[in-house]
Amino acid sequence: MEPNKAEKAALTDLEFTVLGIVWKRAPCTAYAIMREFFSSPSSFYRGSAGAIYPLARRLEKKGLLKASTGKRGRRRHVAYALSRTGLAALRKWLAPPLPEGAAAITFDPLRTRTYFLAALAPEQRRAFAAHARDELVKQLDIVGAEVDRYRKSGDDLSALAMEGAVHVIRARIAWMTELGNKLAR
Partner DNA sequence: CCGCTCATGTAACTGGTTACATGATTTA
Partner DNA sequence: TAAATCATGTAACCAGTTACATGAGCGG
Residues that bind its own copies (CB under 8 A): 13, 16-17, 20, 23-24, 41-44, 87, 90-91, 93-99, 101-120, 124, 127-128, 131-132, 135-136, 138-139, 143, 157-158, 160-165, 167-172, 174-175, 178-179, 182
DSSP 74-104: TEEEEEEEE-HHHHHHHHHHHSSSPPTTTTS
Site string for DNA, 12-31 (x = CB under 7 A): xxxx-------------xxx
Residues 18, 37 contacting (CB under 8 angstroms): no
Q: Is the peptide bond before 96 cis (omega within 30 degrees of 0)?
A: no
> Which window, 8-16, 120-128, 140-148, 174-182, contacts DNA (CB under 7 A)?
8-16
Minimum Å gap between C-beta 12 and DNA is 3
Computed over its alpha carbons, how large is the radius of gyration of the chain? Answer: 21
Minimum Å gap between C-beta 184 and DNA is 33
Residues 163, 147 contacting (CB under 8 angstroms): yes
Cα dihedral 169, 52, 103, 165, rounded to 10, equals: 20
Determine, following the binding rule CB under 7 A, whether residue 109 of this chain makes contact with DNA: no
Sheet-wide strand order for 75-82: 28-29, 75-82, 65-72
In the list DNA, its own copies, none, the entry touching 29 (Cβ below 5 to 8 angstroms by class) is: DNA
Residues that bind DNA (CB under 7 A): 9, 12-15, 29-32, 34-35, 45-51, 53-55, 57, 72-75, 77-78
